[in-house]
Amino acid sequence: MHGANATGRAFTGDASGNLLFETLYKYGFANKASSVSLDDGMRLKSCRITNAVKCLPPQNKPSNEEIGQCSRFLRQEIKSLPAVSIILSLGVIAHKAVVKALDLPQINYRFSHHAQHRFPANLTLIDSYHCSRYNTQTRRLTIDMFEQVFADIRTKLDRG
């Protein structure tokens, strides 16, 4: 095991976390630009990171069954959010898991990078391609694209 699977904190100690934590820091959601271990002093501000699936699936690719089994945990996490919240899904798996956890029809909420979906109870879902090394090396996701999503989230939160 390596990265988050070894450290116990999502995105900590893996390549995709480098871009994520740098961006969180740049937009005021973290106190530092990197995270390598649980005791590295990383503190998130006005945000939290969670996973759609709580187990370690083969090749780190969860099946629909695994997503379904963990849906109740994600549903509880979403219910615990403040009254007006923004959820950022990093990738189509996260997007589908959020829609499923809210018992909403997938067909009404299609994943697309930087798409914004309004849900009942003042909840907004914003999509981004996952910040994986594969997506950044193929330029499916650029730093500018990723930062624009965070800039929009920061603006929405600052406006209240």
The residue to which tokens 């503190």 are assigned: 43
What is this structure's pTM?
A: 0.90
Q: Which residues in the chain show pLDDT less than 70? A: 1-8
Q: What is the residue type of 8?
A: G
**What's the CA gap between 68 and 142, in Å, rounded?**
31
What is the rounded distance in angstroms from the CA atom of residue 126 to the CA atom of residue 118? 9
Which residue reads 């629909």 in tokens? Answer: 64
The per-residue pLDDT for 8 is 61
Strand 123-128 to 116-119 pairing: antiparallel
Q: What is residue 20's predicted lDDT score, i.e. its pLDDT?
A: 96
Give the pLDDT score at 128.
98
Residue 119's DSSP bridge partners are 123
Contacts of 147-153 with C-beta under 8 Å, sequence gap 24+, read 147/23, 147/26, 147/27, 148/114, 149/88, 149/113, 149/114, 150/23, 150/24, 150/26, 150/27, 150/29, 151/27, 152/114, 152/126, 153/27, 153/86, 153/88, 153/126
